[in-house]
Amino acid sequence: MQMKRIFKWVVFAIVLQALPLSNVFAQKIENGKLISWADASGSITIPEDVTEIAENCFYTPGEPDPDGWGDTDPISNTAITSIDFKNVVKIGKNAFKGCTGIVSIMAPKVTEIAEEAFDACSSLEALALPAITKLEKRAFANCSAMTNVSLGKSLASTGANPFTNCTMLKNLQIEAGAEGFYTSENALIRKTDGVLVAVAGGIEQLTLDGRCKKVGESAMFGCSRLTKVTLPEATVLGDKSLNGCSSLAELIVPKLEEVENNSFITMNGVGSLRVMDIHLSPNFKGFNGAFNDKESTTLYVASEEVKTRLSKELRKTKIIVGAPSVITNVTITYSFNSDGGKVESWTTGAVAVVSGQTLPTGSTITFKAIPFFDYYVASWTLNGTDISSSVENNMYEIASVTEDINLNVTFRKKDEGCYIFYRSLAPSQGTISCSRDGGINVPYGEKVPLNSNLKFTASPRRGYRVTDWSKEVGEGSQISYEVISGQNGKTTYECKAEDGLDIAVNFDRMTDHFIVKFSSFNTDNGTLTAALQDGSSFESGDALPKGSKIIFTAHPIGANKVEEWQLNSETVSGHRELTYVVESLSSDIEVNVLCSQSGEPDPDAPVIQKGHLISWNPEGAAILPGEVTHIDAKAFEGANKMTSLTLNKDLKYIGEQAFLYATALRQFEVPAENPHFTAEDGVLYNKEKTLLIAYPAGREGDTYQIIASALGIMPGAFATCPLLKNVTVAIDNTALKSVDGALYTQDGATLLFFPTRPIEGEEAAIKLPEGLQTIGRLALSYHPAVKGIKLPASLRKIEAQALAFNPVLASVGYEENVSPGLESVGDSAFYYGRSLLLFPHIPTLKSLGKGVFGICNLLEEIHIPDGCTIGKGAFEKCQSIKRVFAYDSKPADIEADAFSDIVFLDEATLHVKPDAVDAYSQADGWKIFKHIKGSIDTRIETIEHSNYRIYKVSDGWLVEGFAAGLNYTTCTVSGELLTRSKTQQGQFFVPAPHAGLAVLLHIEGHSVIKLMR
């Protein structure tokens, strides 16, 4: 017995030598099931006595907040790189979800894999499951690097597509002799009922024989490269089956009878469809709201009866009785000299197109030329013709390809020259620009020929003047700005271009001028304007001459009235007129007005004051009282038992969001005698039918088509309409357009409404399109599902309440390599964003409106750019703020209690520039912070700001925020090449050659960045 004990201890000692002690004791195993392994990393081997991996073993789901403020972030083990499963036969739900480091697995005995077990294992390259019997839905979803899958013949059952959105998968095979399934053309089909279960996400065409009877749920989800699908005997398209098939041009399903669309996204993103064939289906039941109605699509049907029925649903699609003709393809070829740059190409849905690829005739294709550092695009040639003059911003689009394409782009090295930098030392008081010979604009950081004639122009705002011009001199830590003699007060400065030229200009307030600021406390209730005695208007923040007479005018909205005027935060006693006058300006002033309503709401009876309906909560069919001439904003808010509303003949005004949450309201009716309003199919318009006033939230149907005469909609016209998933526009409408169910102005510059349909995926993110300049008032508000919004570089303005009341919206920002251009965020824009965690650094931002982050309870980090103004109450009830970054050396004007709602103020930190710590420590509103750190490096101010960060370390710089694999070079300001490399994901290091030497960093597709020690 003693010898046996000794032997066991010897074996145990050997095991301890073979495995790190931390690994041994970090594993939790119960009855052969691995429950957890806390510190697993690298290549791991599952112990031989383990036969099952528990649910969530290497994944921790987010937990619901007890107050209902969303979930915490899930946690996955990203340190594991490979797994040998040894004797494991069963893997539980979510077991390895989000384990993005896993590259390979060995699973020789695994028979069962549960739902989402390997979801989002984005580095997993290949998969072999020789013993598999059961695969649950989405088991390997979003494995974006996986190219090959091999399944054993024992496979007996699957859930909905286990390989959803595996966009690189090109080889999907099952072992010969399998009884339950077979594979054909890299597609997995169940034998018993002919259901297509999964399609490899990287293939371009799919043709199956008559054994395939139905397309299963999510079967082709994310197959963005598919251009043609032919299924001659399939009768059903399953729910979500074509979601994300953005390149699909031909869908040949002649016997199709039914389209399942419970998720509302079955054909979401199918934007390239040219031909759909159902011509052998006389009993086709309809698309159930899934079909994208487009002029570019032709639908072939079985009979005139089917055509007539579908024409009521599809107003744009061309419908033809009979079999389709053959679609022709074109070949896309493009070339370039690779030493000077590269060319990228894509078609609808941002699907990449490689040279030599074919596309269906009529496809849209875009080319983008990306010159390397010190190169430029010299010419574009299309099918032998020079098209350079028609190319803008190095991008060229062919809206409808009709012939083979042969495109060539020539890159040339720039002439010898130097880089020019310039700045305003007081951007809130004035700006600076630069031009060279012939008036050619010189952007910041641009390279110009040596000895070019440069002209810098300073533009002070009203009431300010130019003071000193200065020039950068010295090197390294000795760099400073030296005043240029003879330039004080001049608005221009001219000189010759030279290496590393860096010019700065300063501004100051003119003598005997005073700053005048003004605003309305609540722009929803009323606005405030100001003018001089001669009637000329000016902007808040301008400086005006001493003695000026200023007339401030309040503009109450709807039933609101002036309740209070304030001068320099003190109430003007007894004054409630529409105007307030300063007879003679003698100091800096700030004037504010407060407009509000009077009377208490009554939930049971209409509250009417002087013809204004303030509130009413009727039931059933309601008839507007004859005395009402105005329906105020939110008058019917929460009237969720009202089924219809008949207006009276004298009504002449309806406020914004008048019918908010009136979710049972099915129609409006308007007497013919009313000169201001009319109803079109139960939807409320103005009399001229140029403005859609309100859409009844309880109206049946998930799609609504705006009439041809409409020029716009009232903000919030579609708010809180849970049944409405898509808004389309009549074909003859020239003012509006619909893109994937969202409503824009015809030029695409303004988003007017984004529907509240479900958003697929855990991130639930919306990517707004490039070209969008404004998110309109209430355009993307009251959305119950959106968790993230990606903004385009073109966006300049987010209007008031544009993104308000989005309870699960956690992030707003830009994708990698997108340079922000946002300039203003309106009042209450993110109001009640109770899941928003961070507001990123957007260097171009100049104003944050009043109450912009009101009741953003979880907001932890805010970045306030240089020169950005902040409205009153911007951070009201922002209780969780931990980090504030203020990039301006001069503290922005805020109220003394602006950050007083922070619960853990002792832990919150304000980050500023080193030379600004004292200023913020003494400034009202800012001095409330107990931790103010000078951690924003002033010596990288010459960086062209974008969605990245640069940190100065002892021997160089850490750069983060760029996509991996971009070419970059560093050189001296004189042009001497220092390094050439590629960016890495996360961070990469740029070494400093020696102290005192400035370095120019050029990253592919970005402007030059000047790094200084």
- Per DSSP bridges, beta strands 33-37 and 27-30 are antiparallel
Same-domain check for residues 811 and 922: yes
Find the CATH number of the domain harbouring 121: 3.80.10.10
Domain assignment present for residue 295? The answer is no
Residue where a domain stops, chosen among 696, 720, 744: 720
The CA distance from 24 to 21, in Å, is 5
Same-domain check for residues 188 and 116: yes
| Residues 998/992, Cβ–Cβ less than 8 Å | no
End-to-end Cα distance, the chain: 73
Q: Distances from the Cα of 367 to the Cαs of 81, 328, 474, 501, in angstroms?
A: 37, 22, 44, 35
Q: Distances from the Cα of 500 to the Cαs of 197, 423, 425, 996, in angstroms?
A: 62, 14, 18, 13
Half-sphere exposure of 318 (CA within 13 A, CB side): 10
Residue 157, token pair as written in the block:
């059952």
The CA distance from 224 to 238, in Å, is 17
Domain assignment present for residue 476? The answer is yes
- The one-letter code for the residue type at 924 is D
Domain assignment present for residue 15? The answer is no
- The one-letter code for the residue type at 605 is A
Same-domain check for residues 78 and 123: yes
Residue where a domain stops, chosen among 936, 959, 994: 936
Domain count along the chain: 7
Residue 195, token pair as written in the block:
């259901």
Q: For residue 1009, give the nearest of 480, 469, 373 by alpha carbon.
A: 373
Residue 575 structural domain: 513-596
- Per DSSP bridges, beta strands 148-151 and 329-336 are unpaired
The CA distance from 649 to 627, in Å, is 10
Secondary structure E strands in 660-800 = 667-669, 677-680, 683-686, 691-694, 703-706, 712-713, 726-729, 736-739, 742-745, 750-753, 765-767, 774-775, 788-790, 797-798
pLDDT averages per 10-residue partition of the chain, 1013 residues: 41 42 68 93 95 95 57 84 96 96 96 96 95 96 95 96 94 95 96 96 94 96 91 95 89 94 84 89 89 87 92 88 83 94 81 83 89 89 95 90 94 86 89 91 87 94 95 80 93 91 93 93 88 88 93 88 91 90 94 77 68 89 89 91 92 92 93 93 93 94 93 93 92 91 93 82 76 94 88 93 91 80 93 89 90 91 91 91 90 89 87 89 90 67 50 65 74 66 67 67 71 67
Q: Is 0.85 surpassed by the pTM of this model?
A: no
Buried b (16+ CB within 10 A) or exposed e, 586-606: eeebbbbbbbebeeeeeeeeb
CB atoms within 10 A of CB 34: 24
Q: For residue 301, give the nearest of 323, 327, 275 by alpha carbon.
A: 323
Same-domain check for residues 770 and 835: yes
Residue 907, token pair as written in the block:
């832990």
- The one-letter code for the residue type at 647 is L
Same-domain check for residues 927 and 787: yes
Domain assignment present for residue 805? The answer is yes
- What pLDDT does 503 receive? 94
Domain assignment present for residue 546? The answer is yes
Question: Given 3-state DSSP classes, what are the helix, strand and coil percentages for the chain, each rounded to the nearest 5?
Answer: 5, 35, 60
Q: Distances from the Cα of 941 to the Cαs of 776, 843, 887, 938, 961, in angstroms?
A: 33, 11, 10, 6, 17
The CA distance from 887 to 875, in Å, is 18
Same-domain check for residues 674 and 564: no
Q: For residue 34, give the nearest of 113, 88, 77, 103 by alpha carbon.
A: 88
Find the CATH number of the domain harbouring 403: 2.60.40
Same-domain check for residues 91 and 238: yes
Same-domain check for residues 60 and 204: yes
DSSP string, 967-978: EEEEE-TT--EE
- Per DSSP bridges, beta strands 579-582 and 550-556 are antiparallel
- The one-letter code for the residue type at 855 is I
Residue where a domain stops, chosen among 447, 475, 509: 509
The CA distance from 533 to 585, in Å, is 12
The CA distance from 779 to 802, in Å, is 5
Same-domain check for residues 502 and 645: no
| Residues 229/250, Cβ–Cβ less than 8 Å | yes
| Residues 158/180, Cβ–Cβ less than 8 Å | no
Domain assignment present for residue 95? The answer is yes
- The one-letter code for the residue type at 244 is G
Domain assignment present for residue 19? The answer is no
- What pLDDT does 648 receive? 92
Domain assignment present for residue 503? The answer is yes
Same-domain check for residues 634 and 660: yes
Same-domain check for residues 586 and 611: no
List the beta bridge partners of residue 386: 381
Same-domain check for residues 620 and 713: yes
